[in-house]
Amino acid sequence: MNNIVNEDDFKYYMQDIERYYFGARYNYQELLDNEMVPFKFKTIITKYLKDDVDYDTTLESHLYYLTKEGFDYKIYKQLKGRIRVSQYKNPDKKEKGFKEKIYTCEQLSSIEPEEKERLGMIVRELIISKLALFAFSV
């Protein structure tokens, strides 16, 4: 049974002094259509990510299967991308409940999909550095 009441609760954009935060249920087309998303990030999507990922792909799905071999990985690494996930508190003992953890792109992409499934990993949010976005040359 699906307990998600409103899918839009996981589609959000926020920022603070250092970072941008994107809800992982956004797909790339929705990010491009959102007037609040920084123009430079939209440019990176249309100029660099369009060849590696379909615009209908959600951030959640793309980041879950991100590998170190792709150009998309290099982009998120340069943007100092971090990924907030929910995962089982203790997957070996099947303890109920989830905990939140933030991974770097390097850390998350080094975990095999089978291990992510064992951990009950759910991608919740993409976090990128404002300074890294500012320094990214398009």
CA-based torsion, 16, 50, 63, 2: positive or negative: positive
**pLDDT over threshold 80, residue 7:** no
Separation of alpha carbons 49 and 47, rounded Å: 6
Tell me, yes or no, whether 3 lies in a domain: no
Tell me, yes or no, whether 17 lies in a domain: no
| pLDDT digit string, tens, across residues 93-120 | 766 788 999 999 999 999 999 999 999 9
Quick one: pLDDT at residue 1?
46
Q: What total of structural domains would you count in the chain?
A: 1
**pTM for this prediction:** 0.88
Mean pLDDT over 29-34 rounds to 96
Quick one: pLDDT at residue 2?
52
Mean pLDDT over 6-31 rounds to 90
Tell me, yes or no, whether 16 lies in a domain: no
For residue 105, give its domain range.
24-135
Tell me, yes or no, whether 33 lies in a domain: yes
